[in-house]
Structure 1
């Protein structure tokens, strides 16, 4: 029997939305108890079955998912699975995720909730990985469900260097792109390296969808400026959950609270609250294959019920990323997001796009790529803003374009050869059977 999932409306207050969520909880809890992980967790006690029981449910952690690899979280027969995925995390231990066809209907619908819309007249360039992570497959499925043409550009593939993607982006008159914020800037730099102007030579482009990195408002504006003012529309999610938040026309991120229960966890006190600042905890409401109860994403966020001009009656969220991206320097702590704000607050004519920093205990070292004619101004202004805003010992150095992102990366083309066994006279056969 098909599930009747509500849309992103149908309530007018946080309390009404919470009532919608509570009504789904008994089914969610029953589904979770079909998985080996949750069945074992509650084997020695009364399992949670009602909305009231949910208050006592313990967090599910990333380590729980690693320990349950590969099928410990599975709540349906394996023959019902549509896809298997693993997170892009760097722990070295696999984190498995799986989805049924019914799950994929929900995944695609959530991704397609872009306020600018996806239609059959669109051509969407997917410039995220198609490997075990979900991101490329998610955009592909959502675009096809809307009737759009998909260009599977992939990422980190030898077959799709930046120069080739820029050609496709231009020649196919791509209207929408899906990538991370850094890739949006890399594509712009590669376009310039190819003799094209991102703000002029891609007139069909009408929006860029971005995710996978915390994105400050100042960097979002800079990306939009580089590409001629097109909207840069952010979303937030994970391989384990799919899309869980999207940006509204007012530029605010909203949690899709009609599809999941969201809570904020304070690791210092152990408290779970509906709003506030802390780590985001997610309980999907419409997940078949891999139900998750109070799954701690461990991303630092700030959730609020503040009304938004867009009129969406959904909680808002600011995503700060992992706490690991904050380091002590001298008397203060430096975060990646705060430093990014200062770098991209540099005047646009300086054209500072690529930068890197190392936070040593006694000094913050920053490098920026900048042309010679803007070097003095950019360095002076960044030093001044670090002094004023961060108040830490620092050193700012400028390197010429290509010093951080090599020019060969922007312009390079590499042939991908298929395996070969038979060679002619004088040919180099050292590549036999190898993919080069």
Structure 2
């Protein structure tokens, strides 16, 4: 990671890796048809690779190596459309694991690491699992798309196993906290082994991050990436999310003006520099971001990114991150953890769960904050806890049924096909 602190070394590394990236792209059927740039200047004028390009190339139109060289195949979550395919060689995986492991709160051999993100076709669970094992940690593969791992079981495992590190969506940690309280546990006191929460996959502004840290009495360490690229950014000890510019080139595209820059607000465009199986040239991830180049006390000569959310989660210039900043800017004693919003005509309707005794003031403060920050009329509805996230979802431990066809008299044989 020496290149992270030396701007000249970083630029030299990027230029050296670009030649290898172009060569790899030339072996991809998609880029062979489109043509491949030969210099950094030509790359700057090269058309974006889009999610639609990846969808049309499904499943192996982007493949730049023989299939016998592949280690894994993955698909994205499809949160903003049809899933896209991606694939990695063993050498690609070495790079993936190294980038994910760049946590200022290091992963150690004595850690018990709860992986609470999807396994299956997505890369996120497999990546955290591989990175933790590479450091000798014990992995608890909890998943988060499984009926076998409900929230009540997560809370039990966190406490009984003495989990020290977790990996999940930021919002998932709030769901655990609500489940813990319903089970009679205090998240900030009753899980003393927990030393950090690794999060990624949904917007995380400073107010939300601070609220989660207060609730759990543990630092929140943010990660940003995608199934198609792996980790793209990680948090430094000073709380800033730095793009891994020693492993990829980054640009910011403003879809309104059409301008491309190395900073500002817009959609993130990335050219990975360490990809064998699936090289990508100017891939528009379509995430709404804000990129800057401040001097950071950590010394990393790397751009800083704030992830505002998927473009599909935006309404005009208003992003999910914008609203979330204001929601979690409400005082902690109001107990606000869950919210939702929808644009109805020219009015933004926002619902929040609020503890009794704070509903009217919470409505007024949030309505005024949205109006001042975004010049939009907002209707705020405060709801009692359990309205947006029903309590039974946080307390239930459903039976895990194995395939069974033969039942005794009086048994419920409708369970015969419920092992999904």
* Shared fold, TM over 0.5: yes
Pair 1:37-2:43 in alignment: no
What's the counterpart of residue 12 of structure 2?
19
- Structure 1: distance between partners of 2:259 and 2:361: 47
Provide closer, same or farther for how the CA distance between residues 356 and 83 of structure 1 changes in structure 2, counting only shifts above 3 A. Answer: same
- SS of equivalent to 1:389: helix
- Structure 2: distance between partners of 1:93 and 1:301: 22
- Structure 1: distance between partners of 2:139 and 2:239: 26
Instruction: Report matched runs for 1:27-176 at 5 Å.
Output: 27-42=20-35, 47-90=36-79, 93-176=82-165
Structure 2 spans left out of the alignment, 5+ residues: none
Pair 1:263-2:257 in alignment: no
Deviations 1:365-417, CA, capped at 9 Å, x for gaps: 22111222332332233233334334432222221111110000110110011
Tell me which moved more, 353-362 or 217-226.
Answer: 353-362
- Structure 1: distance between partners of 2:241 and 2:213: 17
**Residue-pair matches, total:** 420
Q: Shift of the alpha carbon at 1:433?
A: 4.7
Tell me which moved more, 240-249 or 94-103.
Answer: 94-103
Q: Shift of the alpha carbon at 1:291?
A: 0.7
Q: Report if the CA contact (8 A) 1:416-1:435 is conserved.
A: yes
Q: Report if the CA contact (8 A) 1:257-1:314 is conserved.
A: yes
- SS of equivalent to 2:209: helix
What's the counterpart of residue 399 of structure 1?
383
Structure 1 spans left out of the alignment, 5+ residues: 1-6
What's the counterpart of residue 392 of structure 2?
408
- After TM superposition, the score normalised by the length of structure 1 is 0.92
What's the counterpart of residue 224 of structure 1?
213
- Structure 1: distance between partners of 2:68 and 2:215: 47
Pair 1:322-2:322 in alignment: no
Deviations 1:92-130, CA, capped at 9 Å, x for gaps: 533100011111111011001001110101111111111
Q: Report if the CA contact (8 A) 2:5-2:300 is conserved.
A: no
Q: Shift of the alpha carbon at 1:168?
A: 0.1
Q: Shift of the alpha carbon at 1:338?
A: 2.1
Provide closer, same or farther for how the CA distance between residues 262 and 191 of structure 1 changes in structure 2, counting only shifts above 3 A. Answer: same
What's the counterpart of residue 4 of structure 1?
none
Instruction: Report matched runs for 1:277-316 at 5 Å.
Output: 277-316=265-304
- SS of equivalent to 2:324: helix
Provide closer, same or farther for how the CA distance between residues 337 and 420 of structure 1 changes in structure 2, counting only shifts above 3 A. Answer: same
Q: Shift of the alpha carbon at 1:79?
A: 1.1
What's the counterpart of residue 424 of structure 1?
408
Q: Report if the CA contact (8 A) 1:264-1:281 is conserved.
A: yes
Q: Report if the CA contact (8 A) 1:334-1:359 is conserved.
A: no
Pair 1:197-2:186 in alignment: yes
Provide closer, same or farther for how the CA distance between residues 394 and 77 of structure 1 changes in structure 2, counting only shifts above 3 A. Answer: same
- SS of equivalent to 2:278: coil
Tell me which moved more, 181-190 or 415-424.
Answer: 415-424
- Structure 1: distance between partners of 2:322 and 2:418: 45
Deviations 1:294-345, CA, capped at 9 Å, x for gaps: 11111122222221111112121122223343336xxxx6432222122111
Deviations 1:215-266, CA, capped at 9 Å, x for gaps: 11100000100112x1111111000000010011111111111111112223
- Structure 2: distance between partners of 1:401 and 1:185: 13
Q: Report if the CA contact (8 A) 2:203-2:320 is conserved.
A: no
- Structure 1: distance between partners of 2:340 and 2:255: 30
Pair 1:235-2:223 in alignment: yes
Q: Report if the CA contact (8 A) 2:249-2:272 is conserved.
A: yes
- Structure 2: distance between partners of 1:193 and 1:54: 54
Q: Which of the residues 3, 10, 29 maps onto 1:9?
A: 3
Q: Report if the CA contact (8 A) 2:308-2:320 is conserved.
A: no
What's the counterpart of residue 335 of structure 2?
351
